[in-house]
């Protein structure tokens, strides 16, 4: 006997559809997931059309991984983590939280969430922090991912939905400009949607590396621009300069649908193509060719990814990409547009329901009295019971264990000692905590430092909803029972809230939580009030905003933008010379990024044998000319260092990287963690850290 569940991949925001079939129902009935083989089959869905990448194909291995946690762990007086009962583990957490709160105040407890949590978990986590803990100190790892694009979208359009159109719209594109995104490796089924533009010779990739995506432009199928790392903003200002100078602006659109044109015009006046060439290394002729192609009409899309967003000027860079799109009249025109490619599985929904330090459900501002009153009504409390704004992730982590800072931290869905910037400092701050509680499937690098580890269900064992990179709400469905010793995070939050004597409701059934989320989101920017599980189970294509009694919104901005006057903002931005210092003699620019085989911090994919065998360790990608200068041969051990830390790994020689840069994947921990070298300086608008352009020295290590 078999039974199947139609669900979606546990990893990235493409949320490829898959069918899971447990092949031993008897073992499943005994709640023995380790003994329940599950087969994975790609399922036809508009985003993946039946395709999966190797991460998706092997995802069921996560369920059966030998290192999966099967019981809570509590650190004993001997300093070692020991198995404990759920009762004892939760009692210890609650008692510690009560003690810390009474001694240091509610803001001495912090919560760190994740962009992989279901909508229901993200929502309940925000409510738990504000009501059960009474703390303002909540933020999440999406701060490291989507915050710059989100800030730019909110600033320009008044709303932040990654793709404001269905992904399938890209199929009919004549030209697609991809800025800082390597979809061919991060979400391979995506490239099916690039085929039209590729065939039309209109695929343009901007990336300092010749990535798998950049290689799609070979043989006359498009263009690859390989700027110096950290010069994306200058490149975009140069494109805008050409568009204005060559009278390629859609003036009717700009007049009817935007404000701010004059300031933009002035702000790019000095970014003539030859100056951009000397700043970025991209020939002026190529820039002119690209600008003309973008303005030539047809269906044109501009898409940004983390490569241009994960910077201290990431918001301004994403803003410049939006400015370019607006000047060309793309957003809101059917068959054209601007979008940002969300990375984490629920990176979209995870940023809508209240995990952010300044946000309430429905993508509402926590400082807005009307928003507070609405959410307070749904939660059955007075608005004054909801704390005010907290602090973003990096600031929250900097405060750990400091006087007046956070003394107890609860971590959900994040491996923050691998994925945060400047992690030597994060590890130091975590060591100063009175209490660290981590919910995870595995003993991740962060869980290994915890006082209490709570083992949780995985995607194939739970119900819920996710919101994909196109703002489409989809169902996650249970295929197998969880192992006996693990619990759902909704249950954990409810149990902790009860122990903390919080009288607010904390449902444990995902559908009930979603019903509450609907109410809390009603009237907000991300309005889910018209959505229910039944319509998702019928397979309806449901995009937010979807007001009660209304319809969903696959395409935003057809008639108006989300600002009160309906107009988009052209926001003048400028290059800050201090943002990306050029390498000094002996230095290289470190570019971090992903590999096909791994996801985020690698806490999951490094435990899947096929993926770990293919990419078992970090390798520093170096141009052969750089390697020769430094006396490094392919496969030799090297040391990358700066004043924040040191990484030791093997070198991989490739002409895909510029001679002035070195590439390191960020999926590995311990001494191979790329974020030992990254800076925790942040973007002044989005609080995004600088992940992409950090200066390092590189030297060959003598093996003995
Ligand atoms: Fe999963 Fe993303 Fe791969 Fe699709 S592309 S199978 S969602 S990791």
| Closest CA to ligand 1's atom 4 | 16
pLDDT tens, residue by residue, 663-684: 999 999 999 999 999 999 999 9
Given pLDDT bands bounded at 50, 70 and 90, which one contains residue 221? Answer: confident
In the reported structure, the alpha carbon of residue 598 is separated from the centroid of ligand 1 by a whole-number distance in angstroms of 11
Please tell me whether the peptide bond between 545 and the residue prior to it is cis, using omega within 30 degrees of 0: yes
Q: Is the pLDDT of residue 145 over 80?
A: yes
Q: How many CA atoms lie within 13 A of 193 on its CB side?
A: 22
Round to whole Å and give the CA distance between 479 and 423: 37
In the reported structure, the alpha carbon of residue 136 is separated from the centroid of ligand 1 by a whole-number distance in angstroms of 34
Look at phi and psi of residue 318 and say left if phi exceeds 0, alpha if psi is from -120 to 50, else beta.
alpha
Domain 79-144+346-537 has CATH 3.40.50.300: no
In the reported structure, the alpha carbon of residue 187 is separated from the centroid of ligand 1 by a whole-number distance in angstroms of 5
Average pLDDT over every residue of 9-20 = 96
Q: How many CA atoms lie within 13 A of 91 on its CB side?
A: 5
Q: Is the pLDDT of residue 229 over 70?
A: yes
Residue matched to tokens 């139609």: 6
CB 43 within 8 A of CB 19: yes
Domain boundary assignment for the chain: 5-64, 79-144+346-537, 163-340, 587-700
> Which atom belonging to ligand 1 lies closest to the Cα atom of 345?
7
In the reported structure, the alpha carbon of residue 191 is separated from the centroid of ligand 1 by a whole-number distance in angstroms of 12
Given pLDDT bands bounded at 50, 70 and 90, which one contains residue 170? Answer: very high
Q: Give the pairing of strands 452-455 and 435-440.
A: parallel
- Helix, coil or strand: residue 42: strand
Of 494, 458, 493, 490, nearest to 476 by C-alpha is 458
In the reported structure, the alpha carbon of residue 89 is separated from the centroid of ligand 1 by a whole-number distance in angstroms of 34
pLDDT tens, residue by residue, 47-93: 999 999 999 999 999 998 999 999 999 999 999 999 999 999 999 99
- Two domains, one topology: 79-144+346-537 and 587-700: no
Tokens of 350: 């995870």
CB under 8 Å to 288, separation ≥6 — which residues?
242, 246, 273
Round to whole Å and give the CA distance between 700 and 633: 9
Query: Into which CATH architecture does domain 163-340 fall?
Result: 3-Layer(aba) Sandwich (3.40)
Average pLDDT over every residue of 438-453 = 98
Question: DSSP secondary structure string, 482-543?
Answer: PPTT-B-HHHHHHHHHHHTT--S----SHHHHHHHHHHHHTTSSS--TT--HHHHHTT---B
Instruction: State whether the Cα torsion 621-627-631-634 is positive or negative.
Output: positive
Task: Give, rounded to a whole angstrom, the gap between the first and last alpha carbons of the chain.
Answer: 57
Q: Is the pLDDT of residue 354 over 80?
A: yes
Given pLDDT bands bounded at 50, 70 and 90, which one contains residue 578? Answer: confident
pLDDT score, position 579: 83
pLDDT tens, residue by residue, 521-567: 999 999 999 999 999 999 999 999 999 999 999 999 999 999 999 99
What residues flank ligand 1, with Cβ below 6 Å?
9, 11-12, 14-16, 48, 52-53, 55-56, 187-189
Q: Is the pLDDT of residue 219 over 90?
A: no
Global pTM reads: 0.96
Mean pLDDT of the residues in the chain: 95
Helices (H), 328-408: 369-379, 393-398
In the reported structure, the alpha carbon of residue 15 is separated from the centroid of ligand 1 by a whole-number distance in angstroms of 6
Of 182, 107, 86, 113, nearest to 598 by C-alpha is 182
Q: Any idea which fold 587-700 has?
A: Barwin-like endoglucanases (2.40.40)
Average pLDDT over every residue of 564-592 = 93
To test the pocket of ligand 1, the residue of 7, 8, 10, 14 to mutate (highest count of ligand atoms within 8 Å of its CB) is 14
Q: Cα–Cα distances in Å, from 443 out to 65, 113, 371, 454, 457?
A: 12, 17, 38, 10, 14
Burial 515-548 (b: 16+ CB within 10 A, else e): ebbbbbbbbbbbbbbbbebebbeeeeebbbbbbe
Q: How many CA atoms lie within 13 A of 673 on its CB side?
A: 25
Round to whole Å and give the CA distance between 457 and 70: 10
Domain 5-64 has CATH 1.10.357.10: no
């Amino acid at each position: 006997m078999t039974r199947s569940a139609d669900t979606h991949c546990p990893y990235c925001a493409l949320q490829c559809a898959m069918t899971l079939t447990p092949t031993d129902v008897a073992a499943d009935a005994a709640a023995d997931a380790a003994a329940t083989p599950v087969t994975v089959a790609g399922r036809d869905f508009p985003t993946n059309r039946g395709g999966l990448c190797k991460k998706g194909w092997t995802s069921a291995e996560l369920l059966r991984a030998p290192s999966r946690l099967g019981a809570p762990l509590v650190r004993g007086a001997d300093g070692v983590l020991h198995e404990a009962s759920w009762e004892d583990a939760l009692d210890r957490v609650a008692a510690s939280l009560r003690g810390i709160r009474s001694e240091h105040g509610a803001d001495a407890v912090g919560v760190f969430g994740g962009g992989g949590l279901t909508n229901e978990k993200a929502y309940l986590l925000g409510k738990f922090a504000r009501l059960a803990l009474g703390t303002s100190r909540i933020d999440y790892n999406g701060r490291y991912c989507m915050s710059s694009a989100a800030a730019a979208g909110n600033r320009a359009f008044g709303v932040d939905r990654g793709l404001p159109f269905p992904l399938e719209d890209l199929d009919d594109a004549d030209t697609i400009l991809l800025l800082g995104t390597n979809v061919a490796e991060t979400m391979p089924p995506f490239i099916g949607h690039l085929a039209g533009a590729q065939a039309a010779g209109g695929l343009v990739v901007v990336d300092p590396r010749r990535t798998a995506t950049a290689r799609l432009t070979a043989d006359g199928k498009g263009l690859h621009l390989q700027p110096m790392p950290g010069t994306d903003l200058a490149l975009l200002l140069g494109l805008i300069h050409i568009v204005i100078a060559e009278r390629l602006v859609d003036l009717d659109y700009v007049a009817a649908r935007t404000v701010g044109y004059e300031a933009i015009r002035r702000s790019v006046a000095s970014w003539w193509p030859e100056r951009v060439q000397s700043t970025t290394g991209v020939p002026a002729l190529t820039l002119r060719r690209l600008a003309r192609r973008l303005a030539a009409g047809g269906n044109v899309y501009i898409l940004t990814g983390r490569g241009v967003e994960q910077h201290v000027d990431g918001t301004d860079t994403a803003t410049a990409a939006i400015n370019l799109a607006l000047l060309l009249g793309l957003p809101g025109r059917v068959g054209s547009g601007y979008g940002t490619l969300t990375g984490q599985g629920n990176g979209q929904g995870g940023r809508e329901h209240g995990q952010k330090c300044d946000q309430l459900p429905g993508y509402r501002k926590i400082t807005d009295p009307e928003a507070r009153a609405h959410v307070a009504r749904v939660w059955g409390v007075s608005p004054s019971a909801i704390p005010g704004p907290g602090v973003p992730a990096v600031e929250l982590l900097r405060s750990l264990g400091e006087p007046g800072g956070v003394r107890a931290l609860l971590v959900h869905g994040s491996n923050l000692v691998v994925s945060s910037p400047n992690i030597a400092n994060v590890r130091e701050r975590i060591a100063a905590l009175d209490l660290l509680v981590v919910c995870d499937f595995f003993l991740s690098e962060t869980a290994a430092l915890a006082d209490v580890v709570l083992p949780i269900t995985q995607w194939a064992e739970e119900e819920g909803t996710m919101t994909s990179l196109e703002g489409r709400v989809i169902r996650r469905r249970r295929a197998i029972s969880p192992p006996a010793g693990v619990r759902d995070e909704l249950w954990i939050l409810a149990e902790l809230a009860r122990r903390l004597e919080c009288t607010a409701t904390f449902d444990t059934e995902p559908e009930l939580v979603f019903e509450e989320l609907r109410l809390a989101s009603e009237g907000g920017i991300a309005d889910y009030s018209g959505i229910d599980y039944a319509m998702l189970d019928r397979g309806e294509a449901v995009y937010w905003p979807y007001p009660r009694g209304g319809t969903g919104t696959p395409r935003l901005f057809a008639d108006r933008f989300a600002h009160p006057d309906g107009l988009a903002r052209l926001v003048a931005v400028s290059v800050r010379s201090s943002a990306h210092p050029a390498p000094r003699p002996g230095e290289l620019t470190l570019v971090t990024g992903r590999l096909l085989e791994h996801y985020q911090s690698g806490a999951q994919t490094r435990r899947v044998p096929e993926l770990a065998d293919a990419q078992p360790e970090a390798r520093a990608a170096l141009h052969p000319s750089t390697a020769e200068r430094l006396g490094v041969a392919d496969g030799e051990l090297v040391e990358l260092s700066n004043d924040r830390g040191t990484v030791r790994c093997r070198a991989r020689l490739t002409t895909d990287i510029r001679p002035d840069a070195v590439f390191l994947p960020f999926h590995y921990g311990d001494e191979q963690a790329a974020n030992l070298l990254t800076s925790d300086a942040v973007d002044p608008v989005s609080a995004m850290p600088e992940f992409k352009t950090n200066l390092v020295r590189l030297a060959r290590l003598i093996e003995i």
